Amino acid sequence: MADLPVVDRVNLIEHLGERQEVSAPAGEAIGPGAGVRFDGASGKALVGDATVAGNAAVYGLNATRGVNQAHITCQVVRRGKIALYDAGGANVLAGLNYGALVYLSNTPGRLADAAGAVAVTLGRVVPFWSSTPPEKVLELTVP
């Protein structure tokens, strides 16, 4: 399993009726593109990872930029298409083939190209034809 590059920016691809999401206050700092689970007692958003089942129970990915502390509201997307970019503006999915699966990583807040200790498939790389060649985006299908 290899972690994908760190996500710095998330762009939501709008398609009518396709996206499923929820807003929640963060219980800790959560980077953009991080897998998010909910604290069972408070309902606050926490960073997920694939090391143990409890941490791997993610709802979706954080689509909010700059959730650098607790109590800031974050937008957690469960279904839909998203484009992921690193700090330099490069597409995080560029090294993956169309159709490749993207997984929750064992590293908190990261995505991976293979399953971690607990296998959590987050989605699949699909083409988005806004340009030629098409951009690689993640179609979220979080279980």
Q: Give this prediction's pTM.
A: 0.93
- Does pLDDT of 1 surpass 70? no
- The Cα-based distances of 29 to 8, 56, 60, 102 in angstroms read 14, 17, 16, 22
| More confident site: 19 or 83 | 83
Span 41-67, pLDDT tens digits: 999 999 999 999 999 999 999 999 877
Q: Regarding predicted confidence, which is higher, 36 or 71?
A: 36
Least confident of 10-14, 27-31, 87-91: 10-14
- Rounded to whole angstroms, the Cα distance separating 29 from 70 reads 6
pLDDT the model gives residue 14: 72
| pLDDT band with cut points at 50, 70 and 90 for residue 28 | very high
- pLDDT category at 143 given cuts 50, 70, 90 is confident
Confirm if 4 and 113 have CB atoms less than 8 A apart.
Answer: yes
Q: Is 17's pLDDT higher than 90?
A: no
Give the integer Cα–Cα distance in Å for 83 and 137.
Answer: 5
Residues 98-134: pLDDT tens digits? 999 999 999 999 999 999 999 999 999 999 988 788 9
